[in-house]
Structure 1
């Protein structure tokens, strides 16, 4: 049986989108570049700031942000659900990072990352949101 290895995002700018997701998710960070990887990129005329494939590691599956020239999608087929004890506060934090709200629904908020990829912010299953 297969195991989830990583979640892949197609992107216009892999480094910028990787930084967004590293900041958006608790315990995640852009994978550090060792000297061998910096040398490999340099041989291709690239740097970490122009790398077309950037990995983001954390306590769960890795995220792979892959730059795709000419990307033009109206909807993505895979998205992340981010659980938060205080959904409204998490939505505000993500807005400050550059996300946008697409729509509100009962128990979750559909958001768009800076490149328009959908994701949802949901109430943490351990601490459900109070009824309104």
Structure 2
């Protein structure tokens, strides 16, 4: 038996803003939440209706982010510099650029400070 990643869940101060940001990043639409969805499930991408792609869930929590992520998303694209520019325009913050092990990537933060990386695929 194995386990398959299904959902990346974000704890957020402003889930509505986060779901819009990540919808723009991924190019996937924000879900219409089903009637009766619990109030803390404020936003989602790819959960309703269920798709085979990785889903994103955005939950309202009272506490803010206090430390570096222990886990983060690694994304890839065809043109890293153009995509970094696009993501910064959406609200990301450019943190740093790196090149090691034959891979070049950029570290960014989403509007609530969650780090994620963007690499150019070859």
What is the Cα deviation at residue 81 of structure 1?
1.3
How many residue pairs were aligned?
Answer: 113
> TM-score, normalization: structure 1?
0.77
Whole-Å separation in 2 of the counterparts to 1:54 and 1:115: 15
Instruction: List runs of 5+ in structure 2 lacking aligned partners.
Output: none
Instruction: Compare the two structures and name the one with the higher helix fraction.
Output: 1
CA RMSD of aligned residues (A): 1.9
For the 8 Å contact 2:65–2:113, the answer to whether it is kept is no
What is the Cα deviation at residue 73 of structure 1?
2.0
The ranges of structure 1 where at least 4 consecutive aligned residues each deviate by more than 4 angstroms after the TM superposition are none
Equivalent position of 1:18 in the other structure: 19
In the superposition, relative to structure 1, how do residues 64 and 99 fare at CA in structure 2: closer, same or farther (>3 Å)? same
Instruction: Compare the two structures and name the one with the higher strand fraction.
Output: 2
Is 1:53 aligned with 2:42?
Answer: yes
- Residues 17-73 of structure 1: CA deviation (Å, up to 9, x unaligned): 0110001113x1211134xx2xx36xx8x6xxxx65311127620011111112232
